[in-house]
Amino acid sequence: MMLHIPGVLTPEQVADMRRRLDQSQWVDGRATVGPQGAKVKQNRQLPDTSPLGLELGQVILQALADHPLFFAAALPLRTIPPLFNCYAGGEHYGAHVDGSMRRIPGSGQWVRTDVSSTLFLSDPDEYDGGELIVTDQYGEHEVKLPAGDLILYPSTSIHRVQPVTRGARICSFFWTQSMVRDDLRRGMLLELDQNIQSLRAKVGDSPEMVGLTGLYHNLLRQWSEV
């Protein structure tokens, strides 16, 4: 399941992050991947332990906590503190799949990567290229979103970032361990939840609505690994 989640950050939040990130010190992005990823990755990132990155990451995590669509789609149990990257001057990231497990920096806790997220901090007209290409059973999907918007997709997907030939593509990216490991089940729960919300807005509560709500929660109870 791929999902575009608009307006995770406000324009004011994006502008503040960009102002501070534009003054930051980026490092070689290959430092955060294994040997296979290092062969195809050419970009810059903030270090995992960057005080600025940790501070801005907390702003993003709070915004996600306040965004009901992200919760409904990801059903988050744990989320890796957001990281930040920059692509410019032809930088790119070739086809790869995200590692299945990541350690939360500064802790011994591991997170299973069920859901990958890219939060765009540059508007599409600020740069050429830089499309996120996600491949699934239906083909290739090209993603280039407005600043403040997020794309969510299964971490099992092969994906790549096209070379940036003009300007700079600045994003935050992170991984979430979901309460529901299986992507198909997460997708069905999201569809059920959205239909319940739509019906409730049209007809209000009724015994049938209570029954559907109960079905949603009983499925979540059955499928969750919490």
- Pick out the residues of the known binding site: 96, 98, 159, 169
Binding-site residue positions for 2-oxoglutarate: 169
Phi, psi of 214 (to 5 degrees): -65, -40
Binding-site residue positions for Fe cation: 96, 98, 159
